[in-house]
């Protein structure tokens, strides 16, 4: 029989040899043995049940979760000359009846159905009319509550299997199953002594990288610019981000499309097809896109945000290079992604056990983003695969040319601080104590009296918390689960404190985003200079370089788009929006500049807050470097009120000065401005409502959170 299988591989599919695992799985199925096949995305699972279906008499039922996927598979089978069909909710009643009738006559070798269909009595009677030798369950991890993509409809498979006469062979397939999930699959399907095939998870042709602290938009644009002919997917966490990024790419002339659950079925279908047929090169999507998409020439998958867990990540990243040619998988990480994922867990999961499981999975994902180990070994170890080598030479850790440096001293300071804080607080507070912050919570708990208070004050708070995260990833420290996790010490840290072990760390120069200064940027810069001279202020007071870069990249056409540019708020827009919109309009060929004209009539106050801010900014921004003076007074220990009083300026002006300095990269003790207990809430609100307008945020937050705190939090988390 195996000989027959080989022959079919060659004649029907045109492939000379089986891939790893395929032959064994097919052989077991043909020997009537229940089988679980765990193979990476693109590993070739379909053939594992399609070939047995062709060899065995009767009709094989394939259970598959996605309607679009079924159609693709059936179309592919038709092109190979195989009699196959599908039944799902996209069909009319008459079509369904007709296909069921033909199926009852044994006209098909393969019948694809959605799990919901198994509840229908009409369908349940099918195995009485036609021989069903094999039931294949694709994406079988959907059965398990512990998997990353549980679908309750999959549970319909269980009673369906029970009532079938002459129980067929059951074969389940998935790309991602931890031990727990595999166990669930076997148990729920009532498999008797199943054979388990786990082929290597390693995909050698994929290069893996994690980039921390890069300008994400710039990175994506740059990548596409250098690979204009390649097909790629950019995954982002939210629909809003997908919309924005796709819009930006389109304006830049990139053939891009998008896909998320907020679009209509037709829109999604059109977009998916355009991508499959290479009409668009870049697909910007949420995780709604892709399960089972068999586009083999995807050359890169960029994650614009960290996904919720390793299973999701590897499955999505694995969509690159299915054809075996090199594929690039890049994860762009920023600490704010952690907040987003926690927010999503809090919003969507209510069951406590499930929640804790989700938090655990999230932590492993975070660790992946911080680890200095070989990324490939990390992934393989996560999926329970032993690796002979701890270096793959094809991931950002292995290729990192940074120098290994002894950081035992810094690590020891962190460990002893955690110890003295009795392992009861989170990363932020530990970093604040080490930094010597005067945050209320620090003093409230008397943490400023600890001997470790301020012992790392030469580093920024962000650098300290980054280091703590790395130590978590390297298992010196552990983080408890939940929304507000605390850090505690692991045995490895004790060894370091006892002086028995050293901590080594790769130090590399901070990655610098590549900024191309094109003609538009130059023109905007000229305009900025002109305005600056008129007002007698330094140019960066008007807009920073990065704002001009962002403007040159986004090419805003109207107020709304201009307000999305980083560094353009309501007040700035009122003052400078018009001339900049004009300049862009003039430079971009054929662009209608009438939107800019609307502001000719004079300022339209967008909100009282903006108006108040503007008035004060005007009176306060006269002198050169005025904001620096305020900033210095503030960091020397004066309160905002005191600075305002001494300088004879408004409170909001001084606050703006401080924020501006922070935006320009000067160091700031954020805890003096942002009440720690509200920081998470501010960021969550910004994620939900957007960071472009402050007023809705102010309204959504408790009264005691002032505009200053909101702005500061947004700057700290690089949301504006």
Only one of the segments 36-44, 225-233, 386-394, 541-549 lies at the binding site for ligand ADP (rule: CB under 6 A); that segment is: 36-44
297 binds ligand ADP (CB under 6 A): no
Only one of the segments 41-49, 109-117, 372-380, 628-636 lies at the binding site for ligand ADP (rule: CB under 6 A); that segment is: 41-49
43 binds ligand ADP (CB under 6 A): yes
State the Rg of the chain over Cα: 29
Q: How many residues bind ligand ADP (CB under 6 A)?
A: 15
Query: Binding pattern to ligand ADP, positions 630-669, x when CB under 6 A?
Result: ----------------------------------------
468: nearest Cα among 434, 499, 427, 497? 427
- Given a contact cutoff of 8 angstroms between Cβ atoms, the answer to whether 254 and 282 are in contact is yes
Residue 604, Cβ density class (10 Å: 0-12 exposed, 13-18 middle, ≥19 buried): exposed
Residue 18 or 86 with smaller CB distance to ligand ADP = 18
Count CA within 13 A, CB hemisphere, residue 180.
8
Report the distance separating Cα 523 and Cα 573, nearest Å: 18
Residue 303 or 322 with smaller CB distance to Mg ion = 322
- CB-closest chain residue to ligand ADP: 44
CA 392 to chain CA centroid, Å, is 24
H-helix segments, 9-91: 22-30, 45-55, 67-79
- Given a contact cutoff of 8 angstroms between Cβ atoms, the answer to whether 339 and 717 are in contact is yes
287: nearest Cα among 250, 320, 317? 317
Residue 45 or 342 with smaller CB distance to Mg ion = 45
Residue 292 or 577 with smaller CB distance to Mg ion = 292
- Structural element, H or E, at residue 256: strand 256-259
Report the distance separating Cα 351 and Cα 370, nearest Å: 29
Residue 257 or 292 with smaller CB distance to Mg ion = 292
Q: Using the rule CB under 6 A, which residue among 44, 52, 65, 556 binds ligand ADP?
A: 44
Minimum CB–partner distance for residue 386 and ligand ADP (Å): 22
41 binds ligand ADP (CB under 6 A): yes
Q: Using the rule CB under 6 A, which residue among 29, 38, 47, 242 binds ligand ADP?
A: 47
39 binds ligand ADP (CB under 6 A): yes
567 binds, among Mg ion, ligand ADP, none (CB under 5 to 8 A by kind): none
197 binds ligand ADP (CB under 6 A): no
Q: Using the rule CB under 6 A, which residue among 23, 24, 149, 294 binds ligand ADP?
A: 294
Minimum CB–partner distance for residue 207 and Mg ion (Å): 23
413 binds ligand ADP (CB under 6 A): no
Report the distance separating Cα 294 and Cα 77, nearest Å: 13
Query: Binding pattern to ligand ADP, positions 337-376, x when CB under 6 A?
Result: ----------------------------------------
Report the distance separating Cα 518 and Cα 548, nearest Å: 11
19 binds, among Mg ion, ligand ADP, none (CB under 5 to 8 A by kind): ligand ADP
Minimum CB–partner distance for residue 17 and ligand ADP (Å): 6
Distances (CA, A) of 426 to 429, 440, 456, 675, 681: 6, 15, 17, 15, 16
Only one of the segments 17-25, 92-100, 129-137, 353-361 lies at the binding site for ligand ADP (rule: CB under 6 A); that segment is: 17-25
- Structural element, H or E, at residue 411: helix 408-420
Report the distance separating Cα 572 and Cα 720, nearest Å: 13
Minimum CB–partner distance for residue 463 and ligand ADP (Å): 41
- Structural element, H or E, at residue 645: helix 640-647
Q: Which residue has the tokens 């042709």?
A: 205
Spell out the residues 6+ positions from residue 667 whose beta carbon is closer than 8 angstroms to its own: 460, 635
Residue 240, Cβ density class (10 Å: 0-12 exposed, 13-18 middle, ≥19 buried): middle
Spell out the residues 6+ positions from residue 463 whose beta carbon is closer than 8 angstroms to its own: none
45 binds ligand ADP (CB under 6 A): yes
Residues that bind Mg ion (CB under 5 A): 45, 292
484 binds, among Mg ion, ligand ADP, none (CB under 5 to 8 A by kind): none
Report the distance separating Cα 655 and Cα 649, nearest Å: 10
659 binds, among Mg ion, ligand ADP, none (CB under 5 to 8 A by kind): none
Report the distance separating Cα 153 and Cα 171, nearest Å: 18
Residue 46 or 144 with smaller CB distance to ligand ADP = 46
55 binds, among Mg ion, ligand ADP, none (CB under 5 to 8 A by kind): none
Spell out the residues 6+ positions from residue 98 whose beta carbon is closer than 8 angstroms to its own: none
418 binds ligand ADP (CB under 6 A): no
Residue 231 or 248 with smaller CB distance to ligand ADP = 231
Residue 37 or 133 with smaller CB distance to ligand ADP = 37
Query: Among residue numbers 228 through 247, which ones bind ligand ADP (CB under 6 A)?
Result: none
18 binds, among ligand ADP, Mg ion, none (CB under 5 to 8 A by kind): ligand ADP
Interacting residues with ligand ADP (CB under 6 A):
15, 18-19, 22, 39, 41-47, 294, 296, 322
């Amino acid at each position: 029989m195996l000989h027959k299988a080989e022959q079919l591989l060659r004649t029907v599919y045109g492939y000379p040899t089986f891939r790893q695992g395929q032959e064994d799985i097919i052989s077991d199925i043909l020997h009537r043995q229940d089988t679980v096949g765990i193979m990476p995305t693109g590993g070739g699972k379909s053939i594992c049940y399609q070939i047995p279906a062709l060899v065995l008499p009767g009709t094989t039922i394939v259970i598959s979760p996605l309607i679009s996927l079924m159609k693709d598979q059936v179309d592919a089978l038709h092109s190979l000359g195989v009699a196959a069909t599908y039944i799902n909710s996209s069909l009319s009643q008459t079509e369904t009846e007709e296909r069921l009738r033909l199926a009852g006559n044994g006209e098909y070798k393969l019948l694809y159905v959605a799990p919901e269909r198994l509840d229908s009595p009409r369908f349940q009677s099918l195995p009485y009319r036609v021989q069903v030798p094999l039931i294949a369950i694709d994406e079988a991890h959907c059965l398990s509550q512990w998997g990353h993509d549980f679908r309750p409809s999959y549970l319909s498979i269980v009673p369906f299997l029970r009532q079938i006469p002459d129980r067929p062979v059951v074969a389940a397939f998935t790309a991602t199953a931890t031990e727990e999930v595999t166990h669930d699959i076997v148990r729920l399907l009532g498999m008797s002594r199943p054979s388990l095939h786990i082929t290597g998870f390693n995909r050698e042709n994929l290069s893996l990288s994690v980039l921390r602290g890069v300008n994400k938009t710039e990175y994506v644009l740059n990548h596409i610019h250098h690979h204009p002919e390649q097909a790629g997917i950019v995954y982002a966490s939210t629909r809003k981000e997908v919309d924005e990024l796709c819009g930006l790419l389109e304006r830049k002339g990139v053939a891009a499309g998008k896909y998320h659950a907020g679009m209509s079925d037709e829109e999604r279908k059109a977009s998916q097809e355009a991508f499959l047929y290479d009409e668009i090169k870049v697909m910007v999507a949420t995780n709604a896109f892709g399960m089972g998409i068999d586009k083999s020439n995807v050359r890169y998958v960029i994650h614009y945000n960290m996904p919720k867990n390793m299973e999701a990540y590897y499955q999505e990243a694995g969509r690159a290079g299915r054809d075996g040619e090199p594929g690039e998988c890049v994860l762009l990480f920023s600490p704010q992604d952690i907040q987003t994922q926690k927010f999503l867990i809090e919003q969507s999961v209510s069951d406590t056990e499930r929640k804790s499981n989700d938090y655990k999975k999230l932590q492993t994902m975070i660790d992946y983003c911080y680890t200095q180990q070989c990324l490939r070994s990390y992934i393989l170890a996560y999926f329970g695969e032993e690796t002979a080598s701890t270096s793959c030479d094809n991931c950002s850790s292995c290729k990192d040319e940074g120098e290994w440096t002894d950081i035992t001293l810094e690590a020891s300071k962190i460990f002893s601080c955690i110890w003295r804080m009795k392992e009861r607080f989170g990363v932020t507070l530990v970093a604040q104590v080490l930094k010597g912050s005067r945050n209320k919570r620090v003093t409230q708990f008397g943490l400023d009296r600890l001997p470790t208070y301020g012992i790392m004050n030469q580093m920024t708070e962000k650098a300290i918390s980054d280091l703590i995260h790395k130590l978590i990833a390297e298992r010196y420290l552990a983080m408890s689960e939940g929304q507000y996790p605390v850090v505690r010490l692991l045995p490895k840290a004790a060894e370091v404190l006892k002086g028995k072990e050293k901590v080594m760390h790769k130090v590399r120069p901070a990655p610098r985003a590549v900024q191309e200064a094109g003609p538009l940027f130059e023109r905007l810069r000229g305009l900025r200079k002109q305005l600056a001279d008129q007002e007698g202020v330094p140019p960066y007071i008007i807009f920073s370089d990065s704002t001009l870069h962002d403007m040159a990249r986004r090419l805003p056409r109207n107020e709304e788009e201009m307000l999305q540019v980083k560094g353009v708020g309501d007040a700035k827009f009122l003052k400078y929006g018009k001339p900049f919109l004009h300049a862009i309009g003039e430079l971009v060929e054929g662009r209608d500049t009438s939107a800019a004209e609307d502001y000719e009539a004079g300022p339209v106050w967008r909100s009282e807050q903006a108006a108040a801010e503007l008035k004060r900014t005007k009176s306060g921004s006269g002198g050169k470097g005025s904001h620096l003076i305020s900033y210095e007074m503030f960091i020397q220990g004066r309160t905002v009120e005191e600075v305002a009083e001494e300088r004879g300026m408004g409170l909001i002006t001084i606050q703006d000065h401080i924020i501006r300095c922070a935006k320009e990269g000067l160091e700031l003790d954020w805890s003096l401005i942002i009440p720690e207990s509200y920081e998470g809430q501010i960021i969550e609100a910004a994620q939900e409502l957007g960071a472009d307008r402050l007023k809705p945020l102010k309204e959504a937050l408790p009264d005691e959170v002032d505009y200053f705190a909101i702005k500061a939090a947004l700057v700290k988390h690089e949301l504006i």
